[in-house]
Amino acid sequence: MQVTKVSDKEIIDLLKRKGTLDQGLRLFVKVYGKDLYGFLRTFSLQQADADEIFQETLIKLMEKARSFKGQSSLKTWVWTIARNKTIDHKRKVKRLNIHEAEGLENSLREDSFFNGDEWLIRLHKAVSELPDAQREVFVLRYFEEMRYDQIAKITAKSKSTLKTSFHYATIKVAEKLKKQL
């Protein structure tokens, strides 16, 4: 099913209007769902975690749609919600320990999201080993192809801090990928 060009305003209007919340949510998922889920999978890696955070993000979107003021794009606003939900989820779950990290590569190989692509698996494994702040900016800049001003709105960090984090993250990822060759 092809989605015709829909504006953020149309989606928000449907989400805000009584009786059209479901229609607005379905339209949001058609337009942004794949990208949002991809962001969550890239950031959390585990399908079950991404599924849970995706649902929590949509629930928050429905609850807070009326408070959307349009000071940023709909995508930036929802990605901020998703980022915060991801952080909340990480607080609940312990960070991967060394033994779990060793099994991560095998887990990624079996995951249909990564489609058995060895380079993509290695890249995601390298990204998963970055410190949280660097991983976050790397995912948003490299995978989501967001501009630094958009990332700054999502993370509440300065553009110069983000550029520095991305630079160091890129170096670390490149070093990890070279070691895997």
CA angle (29, 153, 37) in 5-degree steps: 25
CATH for the 101-181 domain, from 3.40.50.720, 1.10.3720.10, 1.10.10.10, 3.40.50.620: 1.10.10.10
- Tokens 């501009």 belong to 147
| Tokens matching residue 27 | 């339209």
| Per-position DSSP letters for the chain, written without gaps between them | -PPPP--HHHHHHHHHSTT-HHHHHHHHIIIIIHHHHHHHHHHH--HHHHHHHHHHHHHHHHHHGGG--SSS-HHHHHHHHHHHHHHHHHHHSPPP-HHHHHHHHHHHHH-GGGTT-HHHHHHHHHHHTS-HHHHHHHIIIIIS---HHHHHHHHT--HHHHHHHHHHHHHHHHHHHHHH-
Q: Which residues of the chain have pLDDT under 70?
A: 1-4, 45, 94-117
pLDDT value for 118: 78
pLDDT value for 1: 43
pLDDT value for 112: 61
CATH for the 1-93 domain, from 2.40.220.10, 1.10.3720.10, 1.10.1740.10, 1.10.357.10: 1.10.1740.10
pLDDT value for 97: 46
